[in-house]
Amino acid sequence: MIFRMEADGLEWLFILLHQIVSWGASGAMVFGGVVPYIPQYRDIKRTQNAEGFSTYVCLVLLVANILRILFWFGRHFESPLLWQSIVMIFTMLLMLKLCTEVRVTNELNLKRRSFADFDLHYFWHWSKFTDYVQCVLTFTGVTGYITYLSLDSALFVETLGFLAVFTEAMLGVPQLYRNYQNRSTEGMSIKMVLMWTSGDTFKTVYFILNQAPFQFSICGLLQVLVDMAILLQVYLYTYYPQKPASHAAHPVSAKAL
């Protein structure tokens, strides 16, 4: 009888521990993705310089997470992944707001650019945060309407899921290209990239263990490879400095993409 009570007690303890670990993993999935941007946000706030950070990273994540939310309507996946997308969208909007305010403050060109200009040369380089919000809402409305009309198509739903995670897998590419153009990683938070790498590794393992749709696992692995390429740039440009590549002259307002 005593042994049975001890066995029941141990079983209850294991169930409790499993639940706590499960909650912890879910919490890490929801909020872990935004943690890498905290040091970058603080660096920009402290230096009042956003040139080292590519705001196209925000564009990639906004598109990826909007598509992922739409994918959920066609094929339900785990709730933590859905909440992760919602939290990430708000985080990227905060990053954009800060970067826009800092860039406009430091900008020499007084001519203002807006989303309503429909000038592709200045796409994602507008003068007001509200223009970015308009763009995001327009994209959400158009893709949401198309998704609503096509939810009955399994091919469309699976393609939407692939586009969501593939876009997210390209997260580090704008920063990778930015560093290559500058021949430097100055202004980019190395802590952010290290957190990207650890977070993407954890996320990929989470996808595999929880049998998430296969698109998530494949693109998670691709994301880790891009993170490692950026870390390689940090090493090369730190220990083997290179001269910045010469580019054709651009207007001042075209900086800090």
Per-residue model confidence as pLDDT tens digits over 16-26: 776 777 777 77
**Triad 88, 92, 93: Cα angle to 5°:** 120
Region 171-240: CATH code: 1.20.1280
Please provide the DSSP assignment of 7-26 as one string: HHHHHHHHHHHHHHHHHHHH
Q: Tokens standing for 166?
A: 């593939």
The helix/strand/coil state of 49 is coil
Per-residue model confidence as pLDDT tens digits over 61-119: 999 999 999 999 998 877 888 898 999 999 999 999 999 999 888 877 667 888 988 88
- Low-confidence residues in the chain, pLDDT < 70: 1-10, 12, 18, 109-110, 243-257
Question: Long-range contacts for 106-109 (Cβ within 8 Å, ≥24 apart)?
Answer: 106/48, 106/49, 107/252, 107/253, 108/252, 109/251, 109/252, 109/253
Provide CATH 1.20.1280 ranges for the chain. Answer: 171-240
